A and B are shown apart, each in its own frame.
Chain A
């Protein structure tokens, strides 16, 4: 997981505010994935992006959640009008893509909605 940088590590938001989570992939990796983990559970896939394109967003809630991976800069997971149920750890992973599917994870952002 060396190289995948997520910030902030902890984020507290009041209900109704916006949360922006950032992820810088391993240098040279063009594939980014976002996962959500609730306490005592495994990681659940949210969205898969490949530079400037959303490839698969089947795990992302239809409302309030959006993700981007611009040509320059980190990938951003944005949650609008947060609710208590959004409290979770959000992990970003990156991979080189192609036949190599080994995904390396960042340390996560722990979002708490109060």
Chain B
């Protein structure tokens, strides 16, 4: 089945730093989605990407749909403490139905 490898698994941020994470897949996807999940809550949609090569921004967040359709990255610029949480990439393949395949998540923590 399809698998999404998300990296890094965790990272520490300092306020003001830029943060980057990515997802790679063994197969192509038609859509990439990025979600953020906070403790005890469900994932919240941050950015949706529908076309290969597409670069989309949402405030301090920027995500790109890789040209091969097998990867995507998410950047967070000028991080702030409330950026802490778990970020998940998810891929959708039309031929596989409407289900999403999720990466393992990137846990963003604040540097002590």
Which A residues are within 8 Å of any B CB, using their own CB?
Answer: 1, 4, 6, 31, 33, 35, 41-45, 48, 55-56, 58-59, 91, 93, 95, 97, 101-108, 110
Contacts and interface: CB of A to CB of B under 8 A. Distances in A.
Provide the main secondary structure of the chain A interface: strand
A42 B103 contact: yes
B42 A106 contact: yes
B31 interface: yes
B100 A91 contact: no
B100 A103 contact: yes
A102 B48 contact: yes
B27 to A, nearest CB: 15
Contacts, number: 71
- Of residues B35, B42, B43, B88, which shows the largest number of chain A Cβ atoms within 10 Å of its Cβ? B42
Interface stretch (B64-72, B77-85, B91-99): B91-99
Given A43-B88, A107-B42, A59 B104 contact: no
Given A55-B97, A59-B99, A102-B33, A91 B48 contact: no
B31 to A, nearest CB: 5
B46 to A, nearest CB: 11
Interface of B: 4, 6, 31, 33, 35, 40-45, 48, 88, 90, 92, 97-105
Nearest to A4: B42
Contacts of A91: 42-43
B44 A101 contact: no
Contact of A105 (B4, B43, B48, B92): B43
A6 B40 CA distance: 13
A101 B43 contact: no
A58 to B, nearest CB: 8
Contacts of A4: 42
B41 A108 contact: yes
Contacts of A105: 35, 42-45
Contacts of A97: 98
Contacts of B43: 1, 43, 91, 105
Contact of B42 (A48, A101, A108): A108
B92 A42 contact: no
